[in-house]
Amino acid sequence: MIKMSAFAASTAMVILGGAVPALAQDVAAATKEGAVSIYTATDISQAETLVKAFEAKYPGIEVKYNDLGTNGTYNRAISEYAAGQVGADIIWTSGMDQELKLYNDGLLQEYKSTQLKDLPDWAAYQNTVYASTIEPVGMMYNTIAFPDGKGIPKTRAELLTLLQSDQRVKGKVATFDPEKSGAGFLFATNEARTSPDSFWAVSKAFGASNGKTYSSSGAMKESVISGENAFAYNIIGSYAIDWAKANKTLGVAFFSDNNAAFSRLIAIANGAPHPEAAKLFIDFALSKEGQESLAAKGLPSVRSDTSTGMNAKNLADAIGGPVTPIKVDEGLLEYMGQTKRVKFMNDWRAALGK
């Protein structure tokens, strides 16, 4: 478990500023609980500024941060709930479909956030599940293989052509493994239900080019930087933008016609041991102050009124192409049923020739 250091505990009532409206007694109750436990798939490097800002604002509440990955977060939430030993207060994950499944199965607690009015219509579900970011799905490439990004596809049609005919990516192209990565499963199934012909054509071309699949963004990044792979697609764009700033061998690109954007969904676990602190954390994470803390570390804000980094208003201009958010709604459940999930994975393996 990754445990963030807490600021000095305080039993005095915290005086709340304007950024996170709540009743004073709610803050007192949350401070009395003394902690908030988060199960998440967000790297601590991206979340540390948010966590420290929360602990600074509420010095009596310690954040216990558990980075478990998408599948780890989902599976642990299920197993603890089944055992009647819920350890999470907050479930915060990029596995959007997994979060909706947790809601559908009664594992999440309703809470109407004080920040709801400042979120886009697509970003909240049943006063329970909230989008905390809007992050484009993108591409990474090795800048030695693709100098100045020349030859990098600008559309899905060009991606198909690249996979079919460019020798630079033969045996040297990567994407997520949808069986091992919750984010990878989300990206793949979202595309399969919104653009099925394009998705399956690209998947077959990926298989024919001897593509490799990975369970994490970090592993794909290292493979592209080293030159093991020349190109990777359907990756977490916010991570890639940040990584490319620090390594000139890594390039990042997005489509000029349309880019899906996912969100890290946040909700309170049903049976949370620290429910008041959990409510306070959600309100803070969705507030302008909290969103600017996330944007400062490269996670674009789901709000439009932030002044730090990318947000829902300026994201399309920042990446050079329009953005289509994956809506927080029942559509996310389409591939979460066992029958359709198994069929999808069988079709995926067949497309890759496995």
Q: What is the DSSP string of 230-291?
A: SEEEEEEHHHHHHHHHH-TTEEEE--SS-EEEE--EEEEETT-SSHHHHHHHHHHHHSHHHH
Q: Contact at 8 Å (CB) between 302 and 291?
A: yes
Q: What is the pLDDT of residue 255?
A: 97
Q: How far apart are CA 122 and CA 258, in angstroms?
A: 18
User: DSSP letters of 114-165?
Assistant: TTGGGS-GGGEETTTEEE-B-EEEEEEEETTTSGGGTT--SSHHHHHHHHHH
Q: How far apart are CA 37 and CA 275, in angstroms?
A: 10
**What domains are defined for the chain?**
2-134+263-320 (3.40.190.10), 135-261+332-351 (3.40.190.10)
CA-nearest of 157, 149, 133, 134 to 252 is: 149
Cα distances (angstroms) measured from residue 88 to each of 64, 277, 302: 9, 12, 24
Q: What is the pLDDT of residue 23?
A: 60
Q: How far apart are CA 269 and CA 271, in angstroms?
A: 6
- Torsion-angle region of residue 84: left (phi > 0), alpha (psi -120 to 50) or beta? left
- pLDDT tens by residue, the chain, 354 residues: 333 433 333 333 333 334 444 566 689 999 999 999 999 999 898 999 999 999 999 999 999 999 999 999 999 999 999 999 999 999 999 999 999 999 999 999 999 999 999 999 999 999 999 999 999 999 999 999 999 999 999 999 999 999 999 999 999 999 999 999 999 999 999 999 999 999 999 999 999 999 999 999 899 999 999 999 999 999 999 999 999 999 999 999 999 999 999 999 999 999 999 999 999 999 999 999 999 999 999 999 999 999 999 999 999 999 999 999 999 999 999 999 999 999 999 999 999 998
Q: What is the pLDDT of residue 354?
A: 82
Instruction: Provide the residue type at 35 as one letter.
Output: A
Tokens at 276, concatenated: 């008041």
